[in-house]
């Protein structure tokens, strides 16, 4: 978006000096102003009200094609354009890290606020390309004092010295054609193979040479060289060779459609494999170790979530007669058990189009996964139909595959199409050996697996109003990630939406995207009311794909940085709203 008022560099410098030591709010004079420097221009799209205010100011750096050329091959298709934008944003952040002196003012002001980019490469709205050049939107906290006065000298240092160095860093990285092209080709390869997995009867692929272990349980970064680590290598019986357009033919483990059971001793890589497959719905940066891990884009992790809200969902496929006259066909609770929450997650996922369920025994409700023959004899009237009894039916009748990590029970071996054992992070095909064992078989459920949603959203859902009772203040729109849990809890209106179980959320910008997608749902014509949660989520995602991420931007609101979300995550967030109001 071009600014209304233009200044040259000297005029901008003079203006800053006029503002020095005046009330911080006078920075607002910069809004809708574009500064034209010799090599680039800078526009102010939003200006914060005080030092440390959130959201911070938003600037747009425009780099003209004449000085900052982007090669045509980098934006020749959608996959490459996403990769190119990601490459530029990472380059800008690295330039800031090298050149900018942060926190030069009060309350952290005087700082460039670059996102901490994840290992995954996502479509975003912060970077755009045109024949005229390249635009990079970024947040910056304008420098001020504790007494809320303008620090013009520090602003001058940021926008005249440091920004020039950052722009040069971007230019140098654009000129590094080998690294730039490699980044684009990684994404193009991954998306090409992902779109064609089904043609080979696969739901996931892990290339030989992949390095799946992470640096720690708190980090998604790859394991360090000094920590060791074993390169992945597919067993011959389960190996496939896939054609990557740029990298050529690559051998690896093909996770086939159906039921795949992953077994092995503790600390040998079972959960690590499952986690890598879960994150394989997105491309990864070079050096991550999972660049050639490719998973169906409709895969979803399913786990127990004790205490979550379930509003009116039909979970009768897994849960039968309940006490206190609770109806599993219209199940309401604000405090779900492990089994009812996991049943709900499967139903919700299938309603949103999931074709692969990823399940870790350690994160599941044991009584939902299985029930042995002795327990069946002892408690014949248990209302839970375990997943064990339905997992074949899921694939046979609904085309939904399952990949389950089973470390403490052999039950699922009896219903598995494929069995993989992990030994020191290396897979071993155990399918033939498992079939030679005397294993339990699933019991016939009382009725067919019916997955349907009769719920209709009531008017008034997704109210973003927040009432701060302590300060007796109303905030018209509260949409933000909870500080310290930026990829786990979304603050939306009076709701705290817990999305920790949604593995497709890897970046705080996705949390904001979820929140603004809910806000968009309130503005839809025809209204959201009368549709099921998954139908509404499908409509919103379809609109975003057609119009672009900026369709989520609320009118007259400060600019927001968005990152792509899947239908599965949006539907999951809607279903976890404690204020969700439905008719059934």
pLDDT in single tens digits along all 584 residues of the chain: 444 699 999 999 999 999 999 999 999 999 999 999 999 999 999 999 999 898 899 999 999 999 999 999 999 999 999 999 999 999 999 999 999 999 999 999 999 999 889 999 999 999 999 999 999 999 999 999 999 999 999 999 999 999 999 999 999 999 999 999 999 999 999 999 999 999 999 999 999 999 999 998 889 999 987 787 899 999 999 999 999 999 999 999 999 999 999 999 888 999 999 999 999 999 999 999 999 999 999 999 999 999 999 999 999 999 988 877 789 999 999 999 999 999 999 999 999 999 999 999 999 999 999 887 778 778 877 889 999 999 999 999 999 999 999 987 788 999 999 999 999 999 999 999 988 887 877 777 877 888 999 999 999 999 999 998 888 889 999 999 999 999 999 999 999 999 999 999 999 999 999 999 999 999 898 888 899 999 999 999 999 999 999 999 998 889 999 999 999 999 999 999 999 999 99
pLDDT of 82 reads 98
Q: Which of 64, 62, 90 is nearest to 186 (CA)?
A: 90
Could you tell me the domains of the chain?
5-175 (no CATH), 257-452 (3.40.50.300), 456-583 (no CATH)
Supply the pLDDT for residue 1: 42
Q: What does the pLDDT read at residue 155?
A: 97
Burial class of residue 446 in the structure, from the number of CB atoms within 10 Å of its CB (0-12 exposed, 13-18 middle, 19+ buried): exposed
Give the CA-trace dihedral at 9, 10, 11, 13, to 10 degrees. 90
Which pLDDT score, from 0 to 100, does residue 205 have? 98
Give the Cα separation of 175 and 198 in Å (integer). Answer: 37
* pLDDT given for residue 147 in this prediction: 96
What would the two tokens of residue 390 be?
């339905």
Confidence (pLDDT) at 527 = 83
Residue 345 in contact with residue 360, Cβ under 8 Å? no
Q: Are 272 and 213 in contact (CB under 8 A)?
A: yes
Return the structure tokens found at 582: 């439905």
The model's pTM: 0.95
Tell me what pLDDT residue 2 has.
46
Give the CA count within 13 Å in the CB-facing half-sphere of 247.
23
Q: Concatenated DSSP letters for 490-510?
A: EEETTEEEE-TT-TT--SHHH
- Cα dihedral 368, 373, 375, 376, rounded to 10, equals 80
Contacts of 194 (CB under 8 A, 6+ apart): 281, 294, 295, 296, 297
pLDDT of residue 441: 77
Token pair of 204, please?
């996931």
Residues, the chain: 584
Give one DSSP letter per residue of 252-320, joined into a string.
EEEEESSEEEEE--TTSSHHHHHHHHHHTTS-B-TTSS-TTEEE-TTEEE----TT--EEEE--TTTB-
∠341-342-347 over CA atoms, to 5°? 95
**Could you give the CA distance from residue 231 to residue 211 in angstroms, rounded to a whole number?**
5
- Quick one: which H or E segment has residue 220? strand 219-222
Closest of 447, 360, 450 to residue 398, by C-alpha: 450
First to last CA, the chain: 45
The answer to whether the CB of 411 falls within 8 A of the CB of 359 is: no
- Identify the pLDDT of residue 510: 98
Closest to 528 (Cα-Cα) out of 575, 580, 461: 461
φ/ψ of 419, rounded to 5, equals -125, 125
Q: Match 């006490």 to its residue by tokens.
A: 323
């Amino acid at each position: 978006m071009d600014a209304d008022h233009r200044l040259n560099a000297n005029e901008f410098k003079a203006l800053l000096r006029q503002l020095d030591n005046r009330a911080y709010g006078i920075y607002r004079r910069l809004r809708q102003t574009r500064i034209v420097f010799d090599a680039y221009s800078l526009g102010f799209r939003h200006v914060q009200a005080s030092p440390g205010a959130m959201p911070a100011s938003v600037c747009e750096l425009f780099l003209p094609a004449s000085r900052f050329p982007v090669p045509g091959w980098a934006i020749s298709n959608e996959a490459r354009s996403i990769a190119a934008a990601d490459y530029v944003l990472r380059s800008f952040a690295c330039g800031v890290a090298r050149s900018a002196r942060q926190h030069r003012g009060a309350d952290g002001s005087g700082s460039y606020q670059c996102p901490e980019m994840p290992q995954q490469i996502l479509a975003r709205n912060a970077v755009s390309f045109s024949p005229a050049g390249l635009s990079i939107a970024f947040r910056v906290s304008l420098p001020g004092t504790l007494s809320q006065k303008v620090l013009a000298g520090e602003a001058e240092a940021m926008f005249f010295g440091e920004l020039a160095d950052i722009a040069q860093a971007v230019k140098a990285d654009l000129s590094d054609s080998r690294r730039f092209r490699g980044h684009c080709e990684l994404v193009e390869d991954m998306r090409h193979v992902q779109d064609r997995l089904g043609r080979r009867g696969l739901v996931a692929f892990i290339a030989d040479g992949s390095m799946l272990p992470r640096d720690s349980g708190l980090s998604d970064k790859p394991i360090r060289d000094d920590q060791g680590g074993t390169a992945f290598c597919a067993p011959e019986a389960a190996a496939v060779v896939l054609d990557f357009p740029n990298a050529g033919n690559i051998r690896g483990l093909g996770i086939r459609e159906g039921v795949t059971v992953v077994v092995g001793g503790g600390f040998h890589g079972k959960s690590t494999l499952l986690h890598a497959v879960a994150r394989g719905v997105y491309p990864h940066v070079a050096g991550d170790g999972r660049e050639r891990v490719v998973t169906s884009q409709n895969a979803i992790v399913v786990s127990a979530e004790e205490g979550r809200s379930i509003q009116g969902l039909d979970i009768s496929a897994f849960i039968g007669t309940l006490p206190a006259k609770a109806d599993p066909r219209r199940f309401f609770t604000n405090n779900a058990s492990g089994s009812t929450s996991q049943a709900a997650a499967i139903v919700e996922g299938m309603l949103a189009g999931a074709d692969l369920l990823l399940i870790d025994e350690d994160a599941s409700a044991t009584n939902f996964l299985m029930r042995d023959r002795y327990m069946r004899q002892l408690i014949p009237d248990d209302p839970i139909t375990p997943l064990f009894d339905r997992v074949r039916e899921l694939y046979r009748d609904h085309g939904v595959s399952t990949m389950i990590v089973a470390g403490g029970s052999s039950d699922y071996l009896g219903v598995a199409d494929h069995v993989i054992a992990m030994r020191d992070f290396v897979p071993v095909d155990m399918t033939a050996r498992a079939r030679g064992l005397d294993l339990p078989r699933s019991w016939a459920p009382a009725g067919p697996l019916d997955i349907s949603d009769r719920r209709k959203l009531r008017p008034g859902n997704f109210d973003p109003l927040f009432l701060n009772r302590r300060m007796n203040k109303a905030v018209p729109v509260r949409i933000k990630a909870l500080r310290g849990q930026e990829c786990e809890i979304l603050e939306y209106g009076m709701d705290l939406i817990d999305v920790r179980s949604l593995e497709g959320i890897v970046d705080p910008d996705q949390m904001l995207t979820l929140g603004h997608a809910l806000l968009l749902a309130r503005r839809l014509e025809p209204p959201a009311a009368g549709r099921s949660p998954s139908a509404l989520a499908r409509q919103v995602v379809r609109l975003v794909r057609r119009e672009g991420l900026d369709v989520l931007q609320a009118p007259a609101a400060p600019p927001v940085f968005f990152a792509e979300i899947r239908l599965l995550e949006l539907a999951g967030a809607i279903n976890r709203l404690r204020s969700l109001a439905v008719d059934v």
